[in-house]
Amino acid sequence: MSSYRRALSGDWYTDPVVFADEMDRIFARTWQLVGHVGQLAEPGDYLTASVGDQGVAVTRLADGSLHAMYNVCQHRGHELLTDDVGHTSSLTCPYHAWNYDLDGRLLHARGESVGEICVPSVRLDTLGGFLWVNLDDDAASLSDTVPDIEDELLAVAPSAAGRTLTHRRTHLVSANWKLAVENYNECYHCPNVHKSFTKGVVSPGSYRIAGRGQAIRHSAEAPASTGYSLAEGGQPYESFFVFPVSSIQCYPGEVLNTFRWVPLAVDRTLLIREWWFDSDTPTAEQHEIIDLDWRTTVSEDFSILDSVQRGLRSRGYVPGPLIERPDGVATVHSEDAVPHLHDLVRAALGR
């Protein structure tokens, strides 16, 4: 290739003005993963999540339907729900005890007649049993945003909709959210950094990453030594990333797991790593898989991301060339998904 596209300049990752613009133009207008229907099995079950800088809550109503809304009391702004998950018959604000129904309608205001008040709702959709929200009432549907992804997920994980949250781990990364998702969506660094992943989970020569609109699809064969290789009738590794900060992965053997990244500041991002099995308690084998993944593939990126964030503040940084293939499908020797992500960010911000 005679010419190369260049990486974004450092200010895209270090300027608080850019970050504030992203909160409004990206995080308030896109579909983001917040949980799974398996967490809300009974009426009164709820979960909370952060969507950009906004808190949301999803509840299972008495009629069995699901409802999403902003997680904020309409009196003086306290969060209605402060736990990640739980069960309740109604929502009582911890500050002044205003009480709401599970759909956000005000039931009692400490005996005062204050009129009809309701917590604003948020758009909610599902994909393979996973729960997604979008703060933009006018945004395209989830299925129109990432067509075919649900069918492709269920093809490799047919039981996805029946799973529940088995394990969650979090880590605060001292880096911009874009660095985190760029790193996730390129395996150019894998042979150098993730030796366990490229030896025990995937066959490096088979790894492919392809951008497709708002989605980025990863796929690879498992090494023959695992017993899951396609040649032996096994399953591939598949990952379904949805812009800007959500990804569903299926390891060989239908090991279903997710990544979520929550932007907290221009240089701080919360990683949420979750595993979805048939029970809320992992078996010994599942715990071993979870622990190995965290100690190797996941943790190996932490110091790298922190270092890149520091480097992007350097006056000596000049954006370098991005390594792309003519067909736009990345291997472990290219990073085609990175400029794809850059295009999505530029388009969203109108830059």
| Surface-to-core class of residue 21, CB atoms within 10 Å of its CB (0-12 exposed, 13-18 middle, 19+ buried) | middle
Mean confidence (pLDDT) of the chain:
94
pLDDT tens profile 289-299: 999 999 999 99
Nearest alpha carbon to residue 199 among 223, 221, 218, 231: 223
Q: Examine the domain organization and report whether 201 and 320 are in the same domain.
A: yes
Question: How confident is residue 226, by pLDDT bands cut at 50, 70 and 90?
Answer: low
pLDDT at 229 over 80: no
296, 201: one domain: yes
Containing 222, the helix (H) or strand (E) segment is: none
Q: Both 46 and 72 in a single domain?
A: yes
User: Could you give the C-alpha distances from 203 to 47, 221, 320, in angstroms and in order?
Assistant: 37, 6, 28
270, 344: one domain: yes
**Are 234 and 293 part of one and the same domain?**
yes
Let me know whether 104 and 162 are in one domain.
Answer: no
Which single residue is written with the structure tokens 């940084």? 317
118 in the same domain as 5 = no
Q: How wide is the angle at C-alpha 230 spanned by C-alphas 224 and 236, nearest 5°?
A: 95
What total number of domains does the chain contain? 2
Are residues 65 and 2 part of one domain?
A: no
Q: In what order do the strands lie in the sheet with 215-220?
A: 164-173, 268-277, 255-265, 246-251, 237-242, 215-220, 208-212, 329-330
Residue 230, pLDDT above cutoff 50: no
pLDDT score of 223: 76
- Report the range of poorest mean pLDDT among 6-15, 17-26, 196-205: 196-205
My answer on whether 215 and 343 are in the same domain is yes
In the structure encoding, which two tokens stand for residue 256, read together? 């279903």
Compute the distance between CA of residue 263 and CA of residue 175 in angstroms, rounded to an integer: 9
Q: Average pLDDT, stretch 274-299?
A: 95
User: What CATH number does the domain containing 323 carry?
Assistant: 3.90.380.10
Q: Quick one: 42 and 95 in the same domain?
A: yes
How far, in Å, CA of 121 to CA of 100, rounded? Answer: 13
Q: Is the dihedral of CA 159, 163, 169, 174 positive or negative?
A: positive
Token reading at 214: 């708002």
Q: Domain limits at 60?
A: 32-145
Note the pLDDT tens digit of each residue in 111-165.
999 999 999 999 999 999 999 999 999 999 999 999 999 999 999 999 999 999 9
Residues 201 and 337 in one domain: yes
Give tens-digit pLDDT for 153-186: 999 999 999 999 999 999 999 999 999 999 999 9
**Mind listing the pLDDT tens digit for each residue in 210-220?**
999 999 999 99
CATH code, domain carrying 69: 2.102.10.10
pLDDT-based confidence at residue 203 (cuts at 50, 70, 90): confident
Token digits for 246? 């959500």
Farthest-apart Cα atoms in the chain, separation = 74
pLDDT at position 88 over 80: yes
Which pTM does this prediction carry?
0.94
